[in-house]
Chain A
């Protein structure tokens, strides 16, 4: 379980991005981090990704402080797919997927390529293996980026605004697809898209202005959002 406990974070500029944030991401669920832009979602993502360090409080993975876990080990435990995907434009989708396993895990190149093709087939995007990122659609790119992350078989996977490149129909399809994958991977979805969170996630946290406004099952959070409670407090 990943636990965020009383975390504070302020940028050099003095902006307090997170104030006393506590939230847990248990195994076996899809979690959503909800909130408007500027609410501190991305800062939380950067902290969870070991790219920033909290000023106070701690983040633990199975009761170990994540900053005490050696970086290579932590990277294998938690994958991240950024909002802009950042597929490597000079490599095919297949090369994007095999780079890290070969370089980081020292895996055999040919075997990894077979694994990657099998993974793409399983994810329903087998046809894009040899395409470059500029040649595929937003939805395919989103799946390709997740596939790239899944190659290292992380226990947790952070998805930053995964629906930003998807249209409404694809979003439903994508939520169902994530649910299917969730028996092997614990997804943490950072999103402002309440409808998508409702379809994809089980539980979550609602951030506003760097503070936790609500936490619990996704249904109760959605109810609170719909009743206007969270928005009122926000204002």
Chain B
């Protein structure tokens, strides 16, 4: 880079060029992820990778595999006419890419649905809980504090079992997906409340005094003065909670929610290709979480430049 360009960049730290590069950077990475996923999906097993499932001797099925592989990559029908078996596979351990895509897509949609629902519920619960935590005294504080600590200090997996298998005991027969959303919402609430609390704590008490001195009600002081500042500070760590929760949704396969990991598991049980399918699933998660992680980093930088954290 020529020196004058470097100094120009130095003079205006958040230069639009730098921002553009960074945007291109993560867009390219995401695109690479998608391309890689597509590549893995369209690659047909060539006998040597996927181990043959029991009762399906490799030798007998190899020709069929070749038949499904067509240059345009759009082959969905086995050439031997085994249409009826299309939904589970073509009998040689390879499943047509379209079926894989549809099944995993559907599973991932459930994953994202559970994540989105839990995050939304969790976030709205976390704000009042964070406010109580920030008070640091009183009976409501101690009860909330203990609950949040308990949730944060116990494994999500155990919590899932507790809600799913425990709910019928008190007469609540929660569906797996309901149990999952309930558990993950509470979990997200606990982690986000902690973030909200630290955000509120970082706002100078004087901001509240100044607002009160101007005659604003407690609610207006919170809504207009304290919360906007606390939230800006909390956004990057909140993003991290979002990423963590999205990853935690993988656990709900254990209580038989048919999300993406569950789907992958059944695909693997048919194809014996764990590397392929779990890698695809990993990529699917990454395509969603990576931009969020990058976004968190960028927001953090922007907040630092604006100096909100110090005023």
A residues with CB within 8 A of B? 49, 51, 71-72, 75-76, 79-80, 82, 84-90, 99-100, 103-104, 133-134, 148-149, 152
Contacts and interface: CB of A to CB of B under 8 A. Distances in A.
B215 A89 contact: no
A123 B9 CA distance: 38
26 contacts: A72-B215, A75-B212, A75-B213, A75-B215, A79-B213, A80-B213, A82-B210, A82-B213, A84-B204, A85-B210, A86-B206, A88-B207, A88-B210, A88-B229, A89-B229, A90-B229, A90-B308, A99-B214, A99-B225, A100-B214, A103-B217, A133-B311, A134-B311, A149-B213, A149-B214, A152-B215
Given A51-B209, A86-B206, A99-B224, A75 B214 contact: yes
A79 B216 CA distance: 12
B contact face: mostly helix, strand, loop, or mixed: helix
Given A84-B204, A134-B307, A90 B213 contact: no
A148 B215 CA distance: 12
Contacts of A82: 206, 209-210, 213
B284 to A, nearest CB: 37
Contact of B307 (A85, A87, A89): A89
B210 A90 contact: no
B73 interface: no
B49 interface: no
Contacts of B149: none
A103 B216 contact: yes
Interface in B199-235: 204, 206-207, 209-217, 220, 224-225, 228-229, 232
Task: State which size class the interface on B falls in.
Answer: 20 to 34
B79 to A, nearest CB: 65
Contacts of B137: none
B306 interface: yes
A86 B210 contact: yes
Contacts of B213: 49, 75, 79-80, 82, 149
Interface string B71-113: 0000000000000000000000000000000000000000000
Contact of A100 (B216, B232, B307, B311): B216
Contact of A86 (B209, B216, B217, B220): B209
A51 B215 CA distance: 12
Q: Which 9 A-B pairs have the closest CB atoms?
A: A75-B215, A86-B210, A89-B311, A100-B214, A80-B213, A104-B215, A86-B206, A90-B228, A134-B307
A134 B306 CA distance: 8
Given A84-B204, A89-B307, A134-B306, A152 B210 contact: no
A99 B228 CA distance: 14
B12 to A, nearest CB: 16
B195 to A, nearest CB: 18
A71 B228 CA distance: 25
Given A75-B214, A99-B225, A100-B214, 14 more contacts: A72-B215, A75-B212, A75-B215, A80-B209, A80-B213, A86-B207, A86-B209, A87-B311, A88-B210, A100-B216, A103-B220, A104-B215, A134-B307, A152-B215
A51 B205 CA distance: 13
Interface string B231-263: 010000000000000000000000000000000
Query: Which of B204, B207, B306 has the largest number of chain A CB atoms within 10 A?
Result: B207
B214 A79 contact: yes
A97 B214 CA distance: 10
A83 to B, nearest CB: 9
B214 A148 contact: yes
A104 B214 contact: yes
Nearest to A71: B215
Nearest to B229: A90
B211 to A, nearest CB: 8
Contacts of A71: 215
A89 B203 CA distance: 10
Contacts of A79: 213-214
B184 to A, nearest CB: 31
Nearest to B228: A90
Nearest to A148: B214
A79 B204 CA distance: 19
A112 to B, nearest CB: 13
Contacts of B207: 86, 88
Contacts of B204: 84, 86
Contacts of A100: 214-216
A212 B204 CA distance: 31
A49 B212 CA distance: 10
A87 B311 CA distance: 9
